[in-house]
């Protein structure tokens, strides 16, 4: 079973403001990994390998990423490593929002240092 079979739902991409330079584009792509949907899209784009039951791995632009899924196949966390630096994002407190489930809590650490913690209070889905 591959990533596409695990996540066959379609997600709406949020357009980024126009910026020039491949480095900025790569950084913006990595920022999108801050959401589970962005991390899954990156895994799909890079043809992630399924290891075991619920672990996906892939490499994008020299960064090795590992995605950890829980028993409901929701993303519990992402570990991304470039060189000696590992960034970990954890997700929890998923809530149903229309046709998707979204984590209301997220925490990011870089190395062993806390970098960001988010508590989402409200989510508005993009209208089609």
Select from 107, 89, 83, 92 the least CA-distant residue to 33: 89
Q: Show the low-confidence residues of the chain (pLDDT under 50).
A: 1-25, 28
CA distance 4 to 43: 9
pTM of the predicted model as reported, rounded to 2 decimal places: 0.73
Encoding tokens for residue 36? 């589970």
To 5 degrees, how large is the angle CA 103–CA 71–CA 96? 35
pLDDT at 17: 41
């Amino acid at each position: 079973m591959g990533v596409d079979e695990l996540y066959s739902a379609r997600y709406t991409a949020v357009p980024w403001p126009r910026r020039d330079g491949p480095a900025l584009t790569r950084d913006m792509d990595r920022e999108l990994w801050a959401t589970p949907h962005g991390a899954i899209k990156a895994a799909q784009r890079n043809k992630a390998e399924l290891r075991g039951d619920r672990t996906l791995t892939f490499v994008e632009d020299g960064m090795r990423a590992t995605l950890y899924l829980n028993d409901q196949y929701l993303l519990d966390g992402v570990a991304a490593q470039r060189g000696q630096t590992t960034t970990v994002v954890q997700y929890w407190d998923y809530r149903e929002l229309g046709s998707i489930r979204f984590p209301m809590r997220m925490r990011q650490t870089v190395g062993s240092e806390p970098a960001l913690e988010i508590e989402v209070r409200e989510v508005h889905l993009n209208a089609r």
